[in-house]
Amino acid sequence: MTILYPGSFDPVTLGHIDIAVRGAKIATRLIVAVLDNTNKKPLFSAKERISFLQDALGHISNVEIDSFSGLLVEYAKQKNVTAILRGVRSPGDVENEARYAVFNRLLSELNNIETIFITASPSLSFISSSIVREVAFHIYSSNLNDTTLHNMVTPSVQHALSKVYQ
């Protein structure tokens, strides 16, 4: 079964990586796809976000890293995906994700693409890309000790964040 794990991954966090690793155990093939949305202004380019994902997940043989733009279900159809994977951290996530899942189901009715959820590992459920960006901004612009970020992102992402905000 091919599973698609889509996201902005701006940047990828240890929470995302945990979901991808666990997803790869269920899937025969897991495609981790960066949403390259021209309407949003991301901190990192799609190319950079792909490279961070390669660094973190490239060693897993059934994981592929890719990017897409436009409608998620169109990309999913093109890749012959059986299910879309999303991670949920909180009841708020479940509510939002359920809405997207119904919408995607509506759009993919003939192809029957399902959405499946994996719950966040408790120790990582506080992490989001936006919190990472916020913490990095304060740490690097004020020259504070950056040990907090160790628990949130990979060394290559931490390095890139230090370059952006220093």
8 binds ligand ADP (CB under 6 A): yes
Nearest to 24 by CA among 50, 47, 73, 57: 57
How many residues belong to the site for ligand ADP (CB under 6 A)?
Answer: 18
And the tokens for 134? 């916020």
16 binds ligand ADP (CB under 6 A): yes
Judge whether 86 counts as a catalytic residue: no
Distance, CA of 128 to CA of 115 (rounded, Å)? 21
My answer on whether omega of the bond before 122 falls inside 30° of 0, hence cis, is no
Give 151 or 166: the residue with its C-beta nearer to ligand ADP.
Answer: 151
Give 53 or 139: the residue with its C-beta nearer to ligand ADP.
Answer: 53
The 3-state secondary structure of 38-52 reads CCCCCCCCHHHHHHH
Q: In the bound complex, which residue of the shown chain has the CB atom lying closest to ligand ADP? A: 15
Q: Find the binder of ligand ADP among 120, 136, 139, 153 (CB under 6 A).
A: 120
Q: HSE-up of 99 (CA within 13 Å, CB side)? A: 5
Catalytic residue positions, numbered: 16, 40, 89, 129
Give the interface with ligand ADP as residue ranges (CB under 6 A): 7-9, 13, 15-16, 19, 86-89, 93, 120, 124-125, 127-129
